[in-house]
Structure 1
Amino acid sequence: MPSVFETSPAAIPITFVTKSSWDQVAEALPPQQRAFAAACAFAAKPGAYLALPAPDGAIAQVLFGLEDEGARSRDLFRPGALPGLLPPGIYRFANAPHDARLAALAFAIGRYRFARYRKADRPDVRLVPPDGVDAAEIERIADAAMLARDLINTPSNDMGPAELAAAAQDLAAEFGASFACTVGDDLEKNFPLIHAVGMASNRAPRLIDIGWGDPDHPKVTLVGKGVCFDTGGLDLKPSSGMLIMKKDMGGAANVLALARMVMDAKLKVRLRVLIPAVENAVAGNAFRPLDIFTSRKGITVEIGNTDAEGRLVLADALALADEEKPDLLIDLGTLTGAARVALGPDLPPFYTNDESLAADLSRCAMQENDPLWRMPLWPPYDSWLDSKTATITNAPSGGFAGSITCALFLQRFVDQAKSWLHVDIYGWTPSAKPARPEGGECQAARAIYTLLSERYA
């Protein structure tokens, strides 16, 4: 996509107004524009838009409503609605929105349209970078967010394990990173859980492995759940539950988006990206409830439910990552409905025992309008993972605290990394909001990138 930013002395001004500031702004307008705004009943409500005409019929300026400063909640991405409203042209912010940097980012990602299968014209609007805003950084983040959205929005017939691996390989090649992939039955010996989940599909499972950066720099490893479609396996989902399961590789998509930001910014890290890419299908050789597999780490896992497959593929990948004793090990996955019940689609929970990491990530999440909420790795629930016939089960009975028990399951496979972070994302926007169209979403990656930028710039 062409750059969102362009400098032009003739850029059309966008004036941000609120209910409390509107009277003062209206008073300063030329009489004809003030009369036009009154005739249109413009009231400066959040999201209200009005293009004011110049005497020659061109657009003199644009009015756009925001929440008042003291409002109970403010959508800092509200300016992301502008690309869908504005006529083609170059624009500039005439005054400061609540956060100029986030407004510019929202404007950039608000131009996103998924156009692979039908025509969807992207808005031909550009923005003069606001003063003090790093335009290159905004574009870096926006490009990565759009990559995540494109990968998630692509249906599973065109985004299976092989296609996801190809996308990862393209990204590696773009930044001169190494790329390796273990495929099909080659997984069985060293990655038995990944193999078990993916073996019933005619599209072979694989473990994607990308390496980038100076080996002497701190090791940061990203692990992303790449379940390209989840039927639930033999514990079959109802049709309604499968409807958006193309998004079950959202962890992988967001890990690739995060990796793109890190590599493009040339952060001083030794980056490794691991993605177990599988399709959880139904066939005669599908893994079954009460089957037991010995994981890469040697932990035996009883299958309590074949629809709790994401934690299985992550477990083997985390075990591999942990062997290198990274300074920071991060995994992202679309893992539990319990997280959505607790916090909804917009607020992913995260888990870590590193207090400094938790505090820094919470601050970065708020700063970037990429919300996250810390949940506890509650030790008393760890015994719920106990199995009578294996070391642990992947699906404790009882139904309580599902996101926590999933995190505790994954924690069993990490004991050498200096710090570990687990994020249970949704990866999907159920209904459109400014800068966030319905569909695949970049979640947690922007907040984590900001944290990594602070630590390893």
Structure 2
Amino acid sequence: MTLPGLARSVRDGDVPAVIHVVTTEAYAGWLAAQPEALGQWLSASDFKPAHRAFSLLPDVDGGLSVVVTLDDPEDHWALGDLPYRLPARDYRLEGFEGTALARLATGWGLGAYRFQRYKASKRAPARLLIESDTVFDEAVRTISACSLVRDLVNTPAEDMGPAQLAAAACALAHEFDATCEVIVGDALLSQGYPAIHAVGRASVHPPRLIDLRWGEMHNPEVVLVGKGVCFDTGGLDLKNASGMRHMKKDMGGAAHVLGLARLIMSEHLPIRLRVLVPAVENAISGDAFRPGDVLKTRKGLTVEIDNTDAEGRLVLCDALAEASDGAPSLIIDFATLTGAARVALGTELPAFFTHNHAVANALVEAGTWAQDPLWRLPLVEEYRGQLDSGIADLLNCSTSPFGGAITAALFLDAFVPKTLDWVHIDLMAWNLRARPGRPRGGEAMGLRAVFAYLKTRYGGDRD
């Protein structure tokens, strides 16, 4: 597999330009060891060593090399802005190998990403030559997984509704010899997924439950559940225009579990994988579910609707009940669930919840190692009373304006047995600003961290 921005070999007749990576602290010593003419060039071009600064360097034969100065050469994103800042040709790094090279190559490759379904990029990215097959393959697997997330989230609902999301999951299953079953429309009622059906029934695009399975039966089962609300109007509790503008990204949880599944399957992680995606559009029509309605759920609990814009937890509760049925080793759900988590942590740091302290500590450590941080928020038992209903087992959301991410997680917690390891991840799935390696738009957040954790728990060392 090849991706823009990375190459196994140079084009015929080309000589790759060398990238010299120098820390800002070591720059003076590096400069002193260079030919006098090169020092004069850097001085004449007013080059100042700073984090992610670079300068093109000529040689006597008219060739090109580059010096890049970094505060931290182990920064995953250290070279992430170079694919579109450097001239569009081939480059190679000196002095890096193994995990360090794979990290830099991954950051470079993700920086080369552009969503081009509707508008072509104005130029091709610079390409980084990776001669090690092992490093190249590792980087490509990660870039492919994250790019899948970005592509799915960036695609508007017109072209990424429940049917297209199911098609993407089935295509992924076909690629890796997995199975993919899809329950559609009223069949959700006959097969016991009433909450998914209720949320999606108002749309002309029928709701569905996507069920992908892969791996050997003797391996421990891991179930990934992803919120697949392909567009969220808010339902009868209608969002305003600004709140609705980016709601194509409300299937970001589904995108994450499919991207993570791609990485798991491409790495042949020794687990039995199941991916459940409730795919719906929260639309408005005469058949829309209403505030005050009481919905049945797969687990048998009844839910009174306080707000139709708290629909993600309703589709997730049926999927989590199904995920729990086989007592898997681990359940992880990803969801663009609450604005409250964004208020607490900002848009770039996903929140996660779990009862298992060992799992929580390991996830935080994995996120630090992968430079893909996650932050644990508490499941505060005292807040559970905010979900009490006078006529049903639960309200679908708290009537309090405070602690919304926690009460949403507590709602989901009611559908997972306490005997199971369960992690709930509440994330943005969207970059509001461009940073090196991370353009504006759809983004994989926490995916690399979770994979690093899974690899340690089920597959041995991360390196």
- TM-score, scaled relative to structure 2: 0.93
Return the offset for 1:444.
1.4
Quick check: 39-48 or 403-412, which moved more? 39-48
Equivalent residue number for residue 238 of structure 2: 236
Quick check: 49-58 or 261-270, which moved more? 49-58
Quick check: 90-99 or 201-210, which moved more? 90-99
Alpha-carbon distance in 2 for matches of 1:131, 1:179: 34
Please list, as runs of the form range in 1=range in 2, the aligned pairs for 1:154-173 lying within 5 A after superposition: 154-173=155-174
Alpha-carbon distance in 2 for matches of 1:432, 1:347: 15
Please list, as runs of the form range in 1=range in 2, the aligned pairs for 1:224-373 lying within 5 A after superposition: 224-373=226-375
Please list, as runs of the form range in 1=range in 2, the aligned pairs for 1:142-157 lying within 5 A after superposition: 142-157=143-158
Equivalent residue number for residue 63 of structure 1: 67
Q: 2:8–2:131: 8 Å Cα contact kept in structure 1?
A: no
Return the offset for 1:105.
1.1
Amino acid at match of 1:135: F
Return the offset for 1:32.
2.1
Alpha-carbon distance in 1 for matches of 2:446, 2:23: 30
Q: 1:297–1:316: 8 Å Cα contact kept in structure 2?
A: yes
Q: 2:76–2:106: 8 Å Cα contact kept in structure 1?
A: no
Q: 2:90–2:129: 8 Å Cα contact kept in structure 1?
A: yes
Q: 1:17–1:44: 8 Å Cα contact kept in structure 2?
A: no
Q: Does 1:93 align with 2:93?
A: yes
Give % identity: 47
Amino acid at match of 1:76: H
Equivalent residue number for residue 52 of structure 1: 57
Per-residue CA deviation, residues 60-91 of structure 1 (Å, 9 max, x unaligned), is x212232268xxxx953131111112223332
Alpha-carbon distance in 2 for matches of 1:231, 1:78: 39
Alpha-carbon distance in 1 for matches of 2:259, 2:123: 21
Amino acid at match of 2:54: Y
Q: 2:84–2:125: 8 Å Cα contact kept in structure 1?
A: no
Return the offset for 1:16.
2.1
Q: Does 1:103 align with 2:104?
A: yes
Q: Does 1:206 align with 2:175?
A: no
Q: Against the structure 1 CA distance between its residues 122 and 21, is the aligned structure 2 distance closer, same or farther, given a 3 Å change threshold?
A: same
Alpha-carbon distance in 1 for matches of 2:262, 2:286: 39
Alpha-carbon distance in 2 for matches of 1:134, 1:261: 15
Quick check: 16-25 or 197-206, which moved more? 16-25
Q: 1:6–1:126: 8 Å Cα contact kept in structure 2?
A: no
Q: 1:93–1:130: 8 Å Cα contact kept in structure 2?
A: no
Q: Against the structure 1 CA distance between its residues 96 and 176, is the aligned structure 2 distance closer, same or farther, given a 3 Å change threshold?
A: closer
Equivalent residue number for residue 33 of structure 2: 28
The gaps in structure 1 that reach 5 residues or longer are none
Return the offset for 1:99.
4.5
Per-residue CA deviation, residues 275-299 of structure 1 (Å, 9 max, x unaligned), is 0000011111111111101111011
Return the offset for 1:455.
2.1
Equivalent residue number for residue 383 of structure 1: 385
Secondary structure in 1 aligned to 2:50? coil
Alpha-carbon distance in 2 for matches of 1:417, 1:266: 28
Alpha-carbon distance in 2 for matches of 1:332, 1:68: 31
Amino acid at match of 1:317: A
Return the offset for 1:17.
3.0
Quick check: 85-94 or 107-116, which moved more? 85-94
Equivalent residue number for residue 176 of structure 1: 177
Q: Does 1:12 align with 2:14?
A: no
Q: 1:223–1:331: 8 Å Cα contact kept in structure 2?
A: yes
Q: 2:2–2:140: 8 Å Cα contact kept in structure 1?
A: no
Alpha-carbon distance in 2 for matches of 1:68, 1:221: 36
Equivalent residue number for residue 431 of structure 1: 433
Alpha-carbon distance in 2 for matches of 1:166, 1:131: 34
Alpha-carbon distance in 1 for matches of 2:418, 2:324: 6
Q: What is the aligned residue count?
A: 452
Q: 1:207–1:275: 8 Å Cα contact kept in structure 2?
A: yes
The gaps in structure 2 that reach 5 residues or longer are none
Q: 1:200–1:285: 8 Å Cα contact kept in structure 2?
A: yes
Per-residue CA deviation, residues 179-223 of structure 1 (Å, 9 max, x unaligned), is 110111111241111111111111111000011111111010000
Per-residue CA deviation, residues 228-267 of structure 1 (Å, 9 max, x unaligned), is 0001111111100111111100000010000001111111
Alpha-carbon distance in 2 for matches of 1:381, 1:416: 17
Alpha-carbon distance in 2 for matches of 1:81, 1:65: 13
Q: 1:327–1:417: 8 Å Cα contact kept in structure 2?
A: no
Q: 1:332–1:424: 8 Å Cα contact kept in structure 2?
A: yes
Alpha-carbon distance in 1 for matches of 2:131, 2:214: 33
Return the offset for 1:12.
1.9
Equivalent residue number for residue 123 of structure 1: 124
Q: Against the structure 1 CA distance between its residues 395 and 121, is the aligned structure 2 distance closer, same or farther, given a 3 Å change threshold?
A: same
Quick check: 316-325 or 17-26, which moved more? 17-26
Secondary structure in 1 aligned to 2:334? strand
Return the offset for 1:130.
7.9
- TM-score, scaled relative to structure 1: 0.95
Return the offset for 1:378.
1.1
Quick check: 129-138 or 402-411, which moved more? 129-138
